Amino acid sequence: MTMIKGVAASNGIALAKAYKLVMPDLTVTKETVEDVEKEVQVYKDAVASTAKELAVIKEAASKNLSEEEAAVFDAHAQILADPEMETQVVDKITNEKVNAAAALEEVSNTFIMIFESMDDEYFKERAADVKDVSRRLLANLLGKPLPNPALIDSEVVIIADDLTPSDTAQLNKNLVKGFATNIGGRTSHSAIMARSLEIPAVVACKTITEDVQEGDFIILDGINGDVIINPDEDTIKEYEVKRDEYIAYKEELKQLVNEKTISTDGHQVELVANIGGAGDLPGVIENGGEGVGLFRTEFLYMESADLPTEERQFEVYKEILEAMEGKPVVVRTLDIGGDKKIEAIDLPDEMNPFLGVRAVRLCFQREDIFRTQLRALLRASVYGNLRIMFPMIATVQEFRKAKGILLEEKDKLVAEGIPVSDDFQVGIMIEIPAAAVLADVLAKEVDFFSIGTNDLIQYTFAADRMSSGVAYLYQPFNPSILRLVRNVINAAHAEGKWAGMCGEMAGEPLAGPLLLGLGLDEFSMSATSILAQRKLIRSLSKAEMEELANKCCDCATMDEVVALVKEASGQ
Ligand code: PEP
Ligand code: MG
């Protein structure tokens, strides 16, 4: 039994077998073979088992993914069945007496080079397909089959270096009971997705992919950030009890689903949810969300290899606005870049993508994409209570420019006779320190602020949110952050505007007392955190928390703040 300490990224406890989503080493050594006929057969057997594998993946993918995504595996099966490649590999084995793996590597590299050198986009994409197929085939030849979430057919805990947002989107929640990764932090997007999928996750375990062997039995404690490998019977029993207690606690919280979030001295705040798409809405309603405080629209752009059309976007925005029945829905315009990449947009290769062409900066470079999204949003505005939010605003000019483009598109739609609402709000995320400091000026021009602490903390501390080496600098309770948050809230209120928070901090139990005290109006978080935060805030006095928050802003360290909050709120 071994215990690994990581960062708790999504609550809950899972007990299941490990499934390693780790790419094996596929280095090939060229060898001379005597029995070429046998080697040709080895190759043909590997082709056959690869074809079977692709069929299984296709089958699973058509249940979990869109038709277009699943169709990729048909294309792969066709490439595998293409006689041209097979003939060349067989010739090479026979004429040069080389092993099948080396023959395949040489032949496929030639195919890839030819496709890549063509000017046509279609053939360039085929190069990527050939690369994928030959890697899978090579892996089978070397006896190290590639892992794939679609091949999972029993309950597992996934062990990986990291999971990309699109990996996470493909996970089948019924079988994947949780995941543990080498890298990442509480605010990496895989962690955020785990919380919306309601599966436990532990990240930043450093060497978990080496510590765990395929099939090891794993206990994943997403509450404390622990991973236990091959536990003894007593430990398994202990954690089964903890898991059941956690499930019971979640059930008890459900009593608060239809309650308001009012402090003991009568101050009401709104608790709303962060979502990645319409699929998250049932979770928002079940968990008592009073609206949507952040719709991360970039997930809409990850659905396929092409950009979503205006029509497709319009349908999604309309569906969400209608489903929320007049409750506020804050839709954030495209925030691609950083750790979020999409196939349809070629992002420049930058040394520091989180500091580069990201979010609204990218939208200014690709106004075509931006305008399409804004048109879709404006058209949907008549179906509910829409609030449009621009991410990564650093300067007043950026806000004016983004709003200017929005109003141009509005005028065009009105001229075309298309109905657009007259009372949607336009606000910004405060996630860059420059904007937090200048909040009093920005507050005169915007309708609202939503504080994005995930980025605000990484930029304030100059600590990459993806780097486990500097994870200790993710300090939401450092007085520096509290002062910035206080400045933003006060600036909004001075102009009669509202201030929300949609960074992960809004859902942290220790942040509840502080944010209530600082006067935050709207708390937006993973839907699964809402009820616990509601229970907590309903037990606190706003006046007392105001005093506490001001005291905390004068502290020297995060540890001092945490100690004061624990004492004052009984946590
Ligand atoms: C944030 O930065 O706090 C935020 C909510 O946006 P994202 O996590 O998508 O960058
Ligand atoms: Mg952000």
Query: What are the pLDDT digits (tens) for 195-204?
Result: 878 899 999 9
Q: Which ligand is nearest to the Cα of residue 451, counting in written order?
A: 1
- Residue-level pLDDT at 321: 98
What distance in angstroms lies between residue 305's CA and the mean position of ligand 2's atoms?
23
Residue nearest (by alpha carbon) to ligand 1 atom 9: 296
Cβ burial of 52 (10 Å; 0-12, 13-18, 19+) is exposed
Q: Per-residue confidence at 66, pLDDT binned at 50, 70, 90? A: low
Mutate to test the pocket of ligand 1, among 455, 485, 515 (most ligand atoms within 8 A of CB): 455
In whole angstroms, what is the distance from residue 561 CA to residue 88 CA? 68
Indicate which atom in ligand 1 lies nearest the CA of residue 451: 3
First to last CA, the chain: 31
Residues with C-beta less than 6 Å from any ligand 1 atom? 187, 294, 296, 335, 431, 452-455, 502-503
Q: Which ligand is nearest to the Cα of residue 192, counting in written order?
A: 1
Comparing 129-138, 183-192, 440-449, which segment has the lowest mean pLDDT?
183-192
How much is the average pLDDT of 137-146? 91
In whole angstroms, what is the distance from residue 188 CA to residue 385 CA? 29
Q: Which ligand is nearest to the Cα of residue 187, counting in written order?
A: 1
Cβ burial of 131 (10 Å; 0-12, 13-18, 19+) is middle
How much is the average pLDDT of 183-192? 81
Mutate to test the pocket of ligand 1, among 454, 466, 508 (most ligand atoms within 8 A of CB): 454
- Residue-level pLDDT at 341: 83
Comparing 29-33, 72-76, 536-540, 550-554, which segment has the lowest mean pLDDT?
72-76
- Residue-level pLDDT at 120: 76
- Residue-level pLDDT at 166: 58
Most confident of 101-110, 116-125, 294-303: 101-110
Judge whether residue 62 has pLDDT over 80: no
Residue nearest (by alpha carbon) to ligand 1 atom 4: 452
Contact 131, 75 (CB under 8 A): no
Comparing 64-73, 119-128, 163-172, 490-499, which segment has the lowest mean pLDDT?
64-73
Q: Per-residue confidence at 194, pLDDT binned at 50, 70, 90? A: confident
Judge whether residue 67 has pLDDT over 80: no
Q: Per-residue confidence at 466, pLDDT binned at 50, 70, 90? A: confident
- Residue-level pLDDT at 238: 97
411: left (phi over 0), alpha (psi -120 to 50) or beta: alpha
Q: Which are the contacts of 26, defined by CB distance < 8 A and separation ≥ 6?
A: 135, 138, 139, 142, 144
Judge whether residue 524 has pLDDT over 70: yes
- Residue-level pLDDT at 58: 79
In whole angstroms, what is the distance from residue 355 CA to residue 339 CA? 11
What distance in angstroms lies between residue 350's CA and the mean position of ligand 2's atoms?
18
pLDDT, tens only, 378-428:
999 999 999 999 999 999 999 999 999 999 999 999 999 999 999 999 999
Q: Per-residue confidence at 169, pLDDT binned at 50, 70, 90? A: low
How much is the average pLDDT of 359-367? 96
Query: Any alpha helices (H) in 346-461, and if so which ranges?
Result: 360-365, 367-380, 396-415, 433-437, 439-442, 453-461
Residue 241: alpha-carbon gap to chain centroid: 30
Indicate which atom in ligand 1 lies nearest the CA of residue 455: 2
What distance in angstroms lies between residue 452's CA and the mean position of ligand 2's atoms?
5
Mutate to test the pocket of ligand 1, among 296, 342, 485, 524 (most ligand atoms within 8 A of CB): 296
What distance in angstroms lies between residue 321's CA and the mean position of ligand 2's atoms?
22
- Residue-level pLDDT at 347: 85
What distance in angstroms lies between residue 455's CA and the mean position of ligand 1's atoms?
6
- Residue-level pLDDT at 172: 83
- Residue-level pLDDT at 165: 62
How much is the average pLDDT of 541-570? 97
Most confident of 15-29, 454-468, 498-512: 498-512
In the predicted model, what is the mean pLDDT of the chain? 93
How much is the average pLDDT of 203-227? 95
Active-site residue numbers? 189, 502
Indicate which atom in ligand 1 lies nearest the CA of residue 450: 5
In whole angstroms, what is the distance from residue 26 CA to residue 136 CA? 10
Comparing 126-140, 255-269, 427-441, which segment has the lowest mean pLDDT?
126-140
Judge whether residue 170 has pLDDT over 90: no
Most confident of 78-87, 229-238, 341-350: 229-238
In whole angstroms, what is the distance from residue 285 CA to residue 528 CA? 11
Contact 411, 354 (CB under 8 A): no
Phi and psi, residue 555, nearest 5°:
-70, 170
Most confident of 58-67, 160-169, 281-290: 281-290
Judge whether residue 65 has pLDDT over 60: no
pLDDT, tens only, 302-337:
877 789 999 999 999 999 999 999 999 999 999 998
Residue type, 556: A
